A and B are shown apart, each in its own frame.
Chain A
């Protein structure tokens, strides 16, 4: 499979009479976009606002982030199972509005979701303070069920992202990235002497607001499976969760998975990157055993000598991470784990809910319990009152002056376990 990503930069946003890309400015017909989204009968209202890096704007509670993309060629459309049909994606050419993000906001339940500050100390922790954001304020109708409301919010974000890209796809891309994923027989024979490496990609799949979708299928109802990284770039994996904001993998992060990019960057030089194995994080112990065994079985069938394993969320997913690690190491596959920590505000408590002696190579994305005071912003898109019930907040988080004290957990992407975050460490 070969995929080209045609990336057109977006450096600013404004409303205008026609949705188009003009000199790196994404012009949006606000009424047209609103009307499109309100075609969903489950929505009572939708607002469209714009937020740029450096502005005094707070966005909360954020549900999903989506990068605008659409297909130029290759068949089907992006976000298969939702926008596109269910046919295979990941080949041909895909248009990308790089630098733009659709952020969906609205209240579903508490405690969920997250904060994006476009300036101030909070901005340093979220990658979405650096993008030009199209912020959708969503109000589902009162008579729809919670399941329907969640599905509506999820679908609206994808629809808006696809609409924006489609309207601009005639624009010339500033650069084209090329990705290839060869047939397995070819991949197995390639780069003799380099270690074969697979990526075991764990997806949240525990229930309402804790789910992920693969080609439109609820990940909790799937067995681990092989997938081309190019399919993931085309939106084959969709976030259906509004869980812990700091370490949920929103759709944008799936589209731009940095672990996949890093494996590609080392492919043919240090390693032979031979595949991505999607697996889930179900709640039942039987599912955890089944999925971990099956994922490692697939890795063994590929004959890999090492695997990178990334987690999503915390708490009982820590058990999935450990099971994947133990079983892989027992099968002779070296592992590198990517996770984050809940080690208390001072970092002195137990970081993970589970552990194992085999887990000797672990990358942390940071301590989600570290606290931060977010100063008041001139403008809030969404509902600041959610600070008291947002995951990472507490009763009393929101102060009278509009500032709030929260844990990093409340900030979207602060400790993202794919490494799509701003916290890092450098060897000096």
Chain B
């Protein structure tokens, strides 16, 4: 598995990411970051910055995080990209820890705390802001041929399987 996408965005559940591992967490954006940090410690590297531009944790309930297995890396996203298995990518670690420092000290908006129309907008924006990293990882927008899929927050069931790392 080369890529893993962690997300609590329900829109990500209905999109197709052939060959990728999906870690769909039903809970908070903080859980997404924690899942990402665990992978960074296991030698994976972030493909994009773990913080949004212009949203704080209480303003955007969704977060998606795309990581690549450094041992299979072809995208040298960081100057300190590792080549040895399980060697921690220090740039990724720094960024995810800085992000966690913000998420763990600020109020975090949970999806069930916001109205449906607000969630739909936030899910859409999360997807839009992930387009570039997803595209750079080779995602061909499969599943988006008909536009952004219907937003069905209730379809995001509690994760009980092996895909849920948060």
Contact = CB atoms under 8 A, between A and B. Distances in A.
Chain A contact residues: over half helix, strand or loop, or mixed?
loop
B147 A283 contact: no
Nearest to B58: A394
A157 B147 CA distance: 26
A109 B126 CA distance: 12
Given A111-B59, A350-B102, A395-B114, A283 B132 contact: yes
A349 B128 CA distance: 29
B162 interface: no
B59 A284 contact: no
B6 to A, nearest CB: 15
Interface string B67-105: 000000001111100000000000110010011011001
Interface residues of A, number: 41
B136 interface: yes
Interface stretch (B13-21, B34-42, B117-125): B117-125
Contact of A315 (B55, B76, B131): B55
Contacts of B58: 394
A247 B122 CA distance: 20
Interface stretch (A13-21, A42-50, A202-210, A226-234): A202-210
A286 B98 contact: no
B153 interface: no
Interface string A101-114: 00000000111000
Given A314-B54, A350-B102, A353-B102, A285 B132 contact: no
B98 A111 contact: no
Contacts of B30: none
Contacts of B53: 204, 206, 210, 243, 281, 283, 313-317
Interface string A255-293: 000000000000000000000000001111111110000
Interface string B147-161: 110000000000000
Interface in B121-146: 121-122, 124-125, 128-133, 136
A389 interface: yes
Contact of B54 (A210, A282, A394): A210
A354 interface: yes
B17 to A, nearest CB: 17
Interface of B: 46-56, 58-60, 75-79, 91-92, 95, 98-99, 101-102, 105-106, 113-114, 117-118, 121-122, 124-125, 128-133, 136, 147-148
28 contacts: A110-B118, A111-B55, A111-B118, A111-B122, A146-B128, A146-B148, A204-B53, A206-B132, A207-B128, A207-B130, A281-B53, A283-B129, A283-B132, A285-B46, A285-B91, A313-B53, A314-B53, A315-B53, A315-B55, A315-B56, A316-B49, A316-B50, A317-B53, A319-B49, A349-B106, A353-B51, A354-B98, A389-B121
Given A207-B132, A288-B49, A317-B53, 20 more contacts: A109-B121, A109-B125, A111-B59, A111-B60, A146-B148, A206-B129, A207-B130, A208-B125, A208-B129, A209-B128, A243-B53, A244-B54, A283-B133, A285-B77, A286-B47, A313-B54, A315-B52, A316-B52, A342-B56, A391-B55
